[in-house]
Structure 1
Amino acid sequence: MVNKFVTASAVAILLALGAAGGAQAQSITQALTAAYDHAPDLQAALLEAKASAENIALAKSAKLPTIGASISGSESWSLVGGQFSGGPSITTGVSYNQTIFDNFKTEAQIEAARAAAELSEYQIRNSEQNVLLSVVQAYMNVLSGRQLVALREENIRFFQAQLQSAQDRLDVGEGTRIDVAQAQARLAQGEAAYRASLSTLEVSQATFQRLVGTRPQQLNSAHNYARLIPNSIDAALAEAEVGHPAIMMSKAAIRAAQAGTDAAEAAFGPTASVTGQVGSRWTNGGMTDGLSGSVGFQVTVPIYAGGALGASVRKANLGQIKSEVEAMSTYDQVREAVISAWAGIQSADAQIQAAQAAVQAGTTVLDGTIQERDLGTSTTLDVLNSQAELTSAKEGLINAQTSKVVATFSLLSAMGRLTASNLGLPVTVKSAVNYTQAVEDVWQELRTVAE
Structure 2
Amino acid sequence: MHGASAENLSNALSLAYSNNPTLNAARAGLRATDEGVPQALSGYRPTVTATGSAQRSWTQSDYRSGYLKNSQANTASMAIQVQQILYRGNRTKNGVKQAEAAIQAARESLKSTEQSVLLEVATAYMDILQNQAILELRKQNVAFLEEQARSARDRFAVGETINTDVNQAEASLAAAISLVHAAEANLTSSKATYEQYVGKKPGTLVAGYSVDNLFPNSLEAALSQGLSQHPSIIAAKFNVDVSDLEVKIAQGALLPTVSVTGEAGTSWTNNTSSSNVDSTTNSASILGSVSIPLYSGGANHSAVREAKESLGQTRIQLDLARAQIRAGIISAWASLQASIPSITAAQAEVKAARLATQGVIEEQKVGQRTLLDVLDQQEDLISARISLVQAQHDRIVASFSMASATGNLSAANLKLKVKRYDPNEHYNAVRDKWVGLRTPDGR
TM-score with structure 2 setting the length: 0.91
- 1:138 aligned partner: 124
1:157 aligns with 2:116: no
Alignment of 1:89-104 (within 5 A): 89-104=75-90
- 1:334 aligned partner: 325
Distance in 1 of aligned mates of 2:69 and 2:301: 65
Distance in 2 of aligned mates of 1:429 and 1:44: 16
- 1:24 aligned partner: 5
- Contact 1:166–1:183 (8 Å) recurs in 2: yes
1:105 aligns with 2:118: no
Gaps of at least 5 residues in structure 2 are 62-66, 272-276, 438-443
1:148 aligns with 2:134: yes
- 2:64 aligned partner: none
Distance in 2 of aligned mates of 1:407 and 1:293: 74
- Contact 1:221–1:405 (8 Å) recurs in 2: no
Q: 3-state SS of the aligned residue for 2:133? A: helix
Distance in 1 of aligned mates of 2:344 and 2:253: 66
- Which of 243, 247, 251 is the matching residue for 2:237? 251
Deviation at 1:399, TM superposition (A): 0.6
1:441 aligns with 2:427: no
- 2:296 aligned partner: 305
Per-residue CA deviations over 1:138-160 (Å, capped at 9, x if unaligned) read 11111111111100000001111
Distance in 2 of aligned mates of 1:246 and 1:229: 17
Alignment of 1:368-447 (within 5 A): 368-444=359-435
Q: 3-state SS of the aligned residue for 1:175? A: coil
Distance in 2 of aligned mates of 1:174 and 1:287: 129
Deviation at 1:287, TM superposition (A): 8.6
- 1:315 aligned partner: 306
Task: Pick closer, same or farther for the CA change 1:23–1:160 going to 2, 3 Å.
Answer: farther
Deviation at 1:404, TM superposition (A): 0.8
Gaps of at least 5 residues in structure 1 are 1-19, 447-451
Q: 3-state SS of the aligned residue for 1:443? A: coil
- Which of 133, 142, 165 is the matching residue for 1:179? 165
- Which of 24, 28, 47 is the matching residue for 1:47? 28
- Contact 2:169–2:375 (8 Å) recurs in 1: yes
More helix by share: 1
Deviation at 1:200, TM superposition (A): 1.1
- 2:258 aligned partner: 272
Q: 3-state SS of the aligned residue for 2:419? A: coil
Per-residue CA deviations over 1:21-74 (Å, capped at 9, x if unaligned) read 666111011111111211111121111111112122222223421012333333
Deviation at 1:351, TM superposition (A): 0.9
Identity of aligned residues (%): 35
1:60 aligns with 2:41: yes
Q: Which moved further from structure 2: 404-413 or 59-68?
A: 59-68
AA in 2 matched with 1:146? Q
Alignment of 1:222-261 (within 5 A): 222-223=208-209, 225-261=211-247
- Contact 1:60–1:442 (8 Å) recurs in 2: no
1:204 aligns with 2:190: yes
Deviation at 1:380, TM superposition (A): 0.8
- 2:441 aligned partner: none
Deviation at 1:87, TM superposition (A): 6.3
AA in 1 matched with 2:315? E
Deviation at 1:282, TM superposition (A): 3.2
Coordinate RMSD, CA, aligned: 2.2
- 1:367 aligned partner: 358
Distance in 2 of aligned mates of 1:25 and 1:445: 47
- Contact 2:210–2:395 (8 Å) recurs in 1: no
Q: 3-state SS of the aligned residue for 1:329? A: helix
Q: 3-state SS of the aligned residue for 2:216? A: coil
TM-score with structure 1 setting the length: 0.89
Deviation at 1:76, TM superposition (A): 4.5
Distance in 1 of aligned mates of 2:420 and 2:233: 20
AA in 1 matched with 2:13? L
Per-residue CA deviations over 1:317-348 (Å, capped at 9, x if unaligned) read 11111101110110111111111111111111
Task: Pick closer, same or farther for the CA change 1:308–1:185 going to 2, 3 Å.
Answer: same
Distance in 1 of aligned mates of 2:18 and 2:216: 28
Q: 3-state SS of the aligned residue for 1:394? A: helix
AA in 2 matched with 1:56? V
Q: Which moved further from structure 2: 223-232 or 357-366?
A: 223-232
AA in 1 matched with 2:34? A
Alignment length, in residue pairs? 427
Per-residue CA deviations over 1:180-229 (Å, capped at 9, x if unaligned) read 11111111110111111111111111111111111111112333633223
- Contact 1:146–1:201 (8 Å) recurs in 2: yes
1:36 aligns with 2:17: yes
Distance in 2 of aligned mates of 1:146 and 1:312: 59
Distance in 2 of aligned mates of 1:166 and 1:35: 51
Distance in 2 of aligned mates of 1:23 and 1:205: 19
Task: Pick closer, same or farther for the CA change 1:139–1:287 going to 2, 3 Å.
Answer: farther
Distance in 1 of aligned mates of 2:299 and 2:215: 52
